[in-house]
Chains A and B, each alone.
Chain A
């Protein structure tokens, strides 16, 4: 059974700091990996999707890497802003791309 863990569970940083969120998964036979953002009481916003053959994806201040063999992914946020405060979830696709298993989430707070 696929298990996805995110470290740290919570993180508080001052504005402007660069930070790294970690995601690990137990079964390396994944189809894709996706990072989401969730604001309190809201749905999911997709940030980055990394296909299993890719090593990284970038979008603006976000960079996600994938090391499938070691079962790890990182989300790098550059020059963090208070608006980045949210819960960040990573999720892995297995079962031919249909089954999505979510991580435990990292709750990020960026302070002024």
Chain B
């Protein structure tokens, strides 16, 4: 089945650091990728949707300058949390889908902890 790889799985860094998270589709062309954020004991909230070669579409309330998304190829999207602060600590999950009507395939998530 379709596989989405997310890296790193866990990162701890100091406040003010920028952190990049990668999301790769291993066996299909991911024309659309999605980034979600999940705070403890809460559900997943969509942050942004990106189509290959286009600028990402951000959900209301998500700062595009804070969360930079790049989807330059059909197999890779990156989320960069710029100048991260403790309130950015969360679980970030990506998903990807191709052009068909198949559902999204999810990565295993990245636990981000900002000290």
Q: What residues of chain A have their CB less than 8 Å away from a CB belonging to chain B?
A: 32, 34, 41-44, 46, 49, 89, 91, 93, 97-105
Inter-subunit contact B106/A32 (CB<8 Å): no
> Do B106 and A99 touch across chains, with their CB atoms under 8 A apart?
no
Chain B residue nearest to A36 (CB atoms) is B106
Chief secondary structure at chain A's binding surface: strand
Asked if B103 contacts A93 (CB within 8 A), the reply is yes
> Which residues in B have some Cβ–Cβ distance to A below 8 Å?
6, 32, 34, 36, 42-46, 49, 91, 93, 95, 97, 101, 103-104, 106-109, 111
Contacts of A105 in B (CB 8 A): 43
Are B46 and A44 in contact (CB-based, < 8 A)? no
Whole-angstrom CA separation of A41 from B109 in the bound complex: 9
Contact call B43/A97, Cβ cutoff below 8 A:
no
For B1, the closest partner residue in chain A by CB is A46
| CB-based contact A102/B103 at 8 Å | no
* Inter-subunit contact B43/A104 (CB<8 Å): yes
Which residues in B have their C-beta under 8 angstroms from that of A43?
6, 93, 106-109
In whole angstroms, how far apart are the Cα atoms of A41 and B97 in the complex? 23
Is A98 touching B32 in the complex (CB atoms < 8 A)?
yes
- A60, chain B: closest CB distance, angstroms: 17
Rounded to whole angstroms, the CA-CA distance of A102 and B47 in the bound complex is 12
Q: Known contacts A99-B46, A105-B43; decide if A32 and B93 are in contact (CB<8 Å).
A: no
Q: Which residues from chain B contact A99 at a C-beta distance below 8 Å?
A: 46, 49
17 further A-B contacts with Cβ under 8 Å, apart from A93-B103, A100-B95, A102-B36, are: A32-B103, A41-B91, A41-B111, A42-B108, A43-B106, A43-B108, A44-B93, A46-B103, A46-B106, A91-B44, A98-B32, A98-B49, A100-B34, A100-B46, A102-B43, A102-B44, A103-B43
